[in-house]
Amino acid sequence: MKILAARMNHETNTFSPVPTALADFGPDGPTFGAQACAQARGGRTALGAFIAAAEARGEQITVALNATANPSGRVDDAAFERMAGSIVDAASGACDLILLDLHGAMVTQSFDDAEGELLRRLRAVAPRTPIAVALDLHGNITQTMVDCADAMVGFKTYPHIDMFETGAHVARLAFQMMDSHERPALAWVQLPLLSHTLRSATGEGAMQRAVQRARQLEGEGLYGASVFAGFSLADIRDAGVSVVVCGRDQQAAQAGADVLAQQIWVERADFVYRSEQLARSVARAKTLQAASADQRGPVLLLDHGDNVMSGGTCDTTTVLQECLRQGLQRIGAGPLADPQTVAQAIAAGVGGRLRVALGNKMPSGLEVPQQPPLALDVAVRAISDGRFCISGPIYCGETWAMGRSVALEHAAGMLVVTERPMEPLDLGVFTCVGVDPSGFDFLILKSRMYCRPSFVPIARALVECDSRGVTSSDYALFTFTRLRRPVYPLDPDAPFNPG
Ligand SMILES: [Zn+2]
């Protein structure tokens, strides 16, 4: 059997002013062919699982593409054409099975449904070849995607620590399809529901219960049951929550999807996040720290209004400024992307002292004016190339690159400033610049969820901080023009009748 596999991952925040070019799809851009296969082999991604599963069966597998970029604005058309083109070209040769590791929420300059467009092109060149797809739990699923795929399974964890397991699940379904010569049935139910990313963690609340129900349905014989929280910071028709069920026949798959959708709809209010005022969150962090002086590790302040893994600019200083205003001390923060400040610090050299105009240089992305940079007197403590190998559970073993990076000490703590936006998904974002993140009283991270598996174990407490960034949980800051309406909670009385 000749298997073609590929990974093309991007979660697009259509409000984000951060551009997305081909070079962003990997530490040194995307990789293709044998290089992509070598890079992905042994990794904990869905593509890594495809390769492991194929090789365990002694099948021949070729990898067209390995590409993943941090969430950011719409993907350049040229980047999409190069990446999708590499997969479609490979599929138009002889291949018996196509395995794809996609996100599900990629939007390009020309296509609101980039995964649907890729799958449509693949169906056109390889109409009889089975296509099985692994997706992110935040995928915005569309009719085209469902119509053009034979099997589909999404992650069941957020933070996403089951990418490999999801890939293995998809490979298992695909091999079952090949061995039995039977195509499974897919059922998709889209809810009129825009969830908040902070309410899509699978360890609590309605999302946890939905995923438990999905697992139960799989235990009862359905091939795959996936709950997609969707990615709501995308002004496209199909943003939001849906479920996809893969089963032996259409009736069983549809019944499972209806049950799952009904349960989610009943609990829809639990998918809405209500923000606390920033000043109150910072004051709470201060109290938590003071009340636990006998404990070690920082209080984490998660700046989810500028969350890199949702398309944040990674350059806003709102939370740091509020901490300084309230007199917090021993504050660690980072990464903050500001190439100008990095260049100045490198020119000053280690030990150099300078006044920097920090952050707030990208357009805000919102219909509110950007605030001015933060003036800060700093001393340069370290300079690094910003590359680190991930040791935490998400993307374990991969090398990520923040661009040139510096550690800057100021009167109230230490900052890691980088050339490129970077989610603090691993302690390596600090340690590669010689900073120990566990040594602070407070640690500001531009993250919602990805930081948690690595940073919660070294922290004494966690406080969510909503700043006025392009990944804010306050939907009133955004103007949706393409989203299907009515949709809850923007339209509180949106109707839904599954089944
Ligand atoms: Zn996700």
**Please, what are the averages of pLDDT over each run of 10 residues along the chain (499 residues)?**
98 94 93 97 96 97 96 97 98 95 98 98 97 98 98 96 97 97 96 95 96 98 98 97 97 97 98 93 97 92 93 95 98 98 98 98 85 97 96 85 96 97 95 97 94 95 92 90 97 89
Q: Which domains does the chain have, with CATH numbers?
A: 2-271 (3.40.50.2300), 278-472 (no CATH)
Q: What distance in angstroms lies between residue 343's CA and the mean position of ligand 1's atoms?
A: 32
Q: What distance in angstroms lies between residue 39's CA and the mean position of ligand 1's atoms?
A: 22
Tell me if residue 238 falls in helix, strand or coil. Answer: coil
Q: What is the pairing mode between strands 299-303 and 461-465?
A: parallel
Q: What distance in angstroms lies between residue 447's CA and the mean position of ligand 1's atoms?
A: 12
Q: What distance in angstroms lies between residue 202's CA and the mean position of ligand 1's atoms?
A: 11
Q: Where are the beta strands (DSSP E) in 175-309?
A: 185-190, 224-228, 242-247, 299-303
Exposed / middle / buried, residue 382 (Cβ in 10 Å: 0-12, 13-18, 19+):
middle
pLDDT on residue 499: 62
**What is the spatial distance between Cα 470 and Cα 366, in angstroms, rounded to a whole number?**
6
pLDDT on residue 96: 97
Nearest to 6 by CA among 114, 88, 107, 113: 88
**What is the spatial distance between Cα 46 and Cα 8, in angstroms, rounded to a whole number?**
11
Q: Give yes or no for a contact between 395 and 45, defined as CB atoms under 8 angstroms apart.
A: yes
Nearest to 404 by CA among 448, 351, 340, 322: 340
State the amino acid at position 191 in one-letter form.
L
Q: Give yes or no for a contact between 301 and 285, defined as CB atoms under 8 angstroms apart.
A: yes
Q: What distance in angstroms lies between residue 309's CA and the mean position of ligand 1's atoms?
A: 8
**What is the spatial distance between Cα 298 and Cα 370, in angstroms, rounded to a whole number?**
29
* Residue with token string 């061995």: 179
